Structure 1
Amino acid sequence: MMKYFVLLFILSSNIFYSQLPKNNDWNVAQEKAQKSGKNILIILTGSEWCKPCIKMKKNVIETIEFEKFANESVEIFEINLPRNQDLNSKVVMDYQYFKNKFKTNALPSLILLDKEGNELVKISDGLASKQKVISKLSKYN
């Protein structure tokens, strides 16, 4: 009986785990940042196929600590590249634009901007450690 209770608890906690609010539209993210006064965090990822991206998602993005930090401090704009994407798709065009604008070829990359869209910091290493990521991003709040 206890085994079933533990299994039910684990399953229900995953069901009620709140998702981190992310925008996949730059204009929406920027508008929300203007209204809230928060910085904008761009997440460049390929979370379904890129091994470092999968690690970042599991060890950082989906943690309660990062979720708390992000909800208090940033509006998230995520560009998540699927494995086989049409090169003319919006997500690929957004990825190309932002990687060129902020001069990064690394996946994953985190780019923190102020609410006006000016770069504060770019992080492309140490992205498997929530402590390192939160510490680096917290310096700009």
Structure 2
Amino acid sequence: MKPTITLSILLAFFFGTSHAQLKKSLDYDTAKIEAKANNKDIMIVLTGSEWCKPCVKMKKNVFENQEFIDYATERFVIFEVNLDRHWDMDSKVYKDYSYFKDKYQSNALPTLIILGSDETKKAVISEKLTSFEKTMEHLKQIK
């Protein structure tokens, strides 16, 4: 009887405990509208999260960290531009990537571009994004 109760409690805990996922928009216009409506900054994420080694590390160490998820959800609307390994130069993703990297002068992956809800540039971060601590340090310095 006791092992059944213990197992039931463990299963309830395991399956009942959920971690929030980081909500990301794949459409910039939608992200702008949501940022204005909720008075949040916009975080544009330029990444190649499946093939770029620093991007993979950033995803694992930062974007999947519950503390980052909570912080980012509270403060930002996230617009992600995630390049495939073999991108199509005519695709919306590549056009978005090309536009934002040129506009904010970033040639690095990963890059975080932080804009106010009015689209004023606050920061472009492309260094030490594989470290949770360093990324949070950068973000918390932005006013």
With the length of structure 1 as denominator, give the TM-score of the two structures. 0.88
What amino acid is aligned across from residue 138 of structure 1 in structure 2?
A: K
Rounded Cα–Cα distance in structure 2 between residues aligned with 1:107 and 1:62: 18
- State the partner residue of 1:121: 123
Letter in 1 for 2:115: L
Q: Match for residue 43 of structure 2? A: 41
Stretches of structure 1 lacking an aligned partner (at least 5 in a row): none
CA–CA distance in structure 2, aligned partners of residues 53 and 8 of structure 1: 33
Query: Structure 2: how far apart are the matches of 1:10 and 1:125?
Result: 38
For 1:5-25, what per-residue CA distance to the aligned partner results, in whole angstroms no more than 9, with x for missing partners? 6x96897479x3321110010
Task: Return the alpha-carbon distance in structure 2 between the equivalents of residues 54 and 91 of structure 1.
Answer: 18
Q: Distance in 2 between matches of 1:30 and 1:62?
A: 24
Q: What is the percentage of aligned positions where both structures have the same residue? A: 45
Out of 65, 68, 75, the position equivalent to 1:66 is: 68
SS at the partner of 1:28?
A: helix
Larger radius of gyration: 2
Q: Deviations over 1:34-64 (max 9, x none)?
A: 0011100010000000000000000001100
8 Å CA contact 2:25–2:80 kept in 1: the answer is yes
Q: Which runs of 5+ in 2 are unaligned?
A: none
1:109 alignment partner in structure 2? 111
Structure-2 change in CA distance of 1:85 and 1:68 (3 Å): same
Q: How does the TM-score come out when normalised to structure 2?
A: 0.87
Distance 2:11 2:51 in 1: 30
- Is the partner of 1:18 in helix, strand or coil? coil
Please give the alpha-carbon distance, in whole angstroms, between the structure 1 residues aligned to 2:120 and 2:45.
Answer: 15
Q: 1:55 to 1:11 in 2, by over 3 A?
A: farther
Contact 2:20/2:66 (<8 A) preserved: no
Paired residues, what number?
139
Alpha-carbon deviation of 1:138?
A: 1.6
After superposition, the Cα gap between the structure-2 partners of 1:10 and 1:124, relative to the gap in structure 1 and judged at 3 Å, is farther
Q: What is the aligned partner in structure 2 of residue 88 from structure 1?
A: 90
CA root-mean-square deviation: 2.3
Amino acid at match of 2:88: D
In 1, distance between residues paired with 2:79 and 2:44? 5
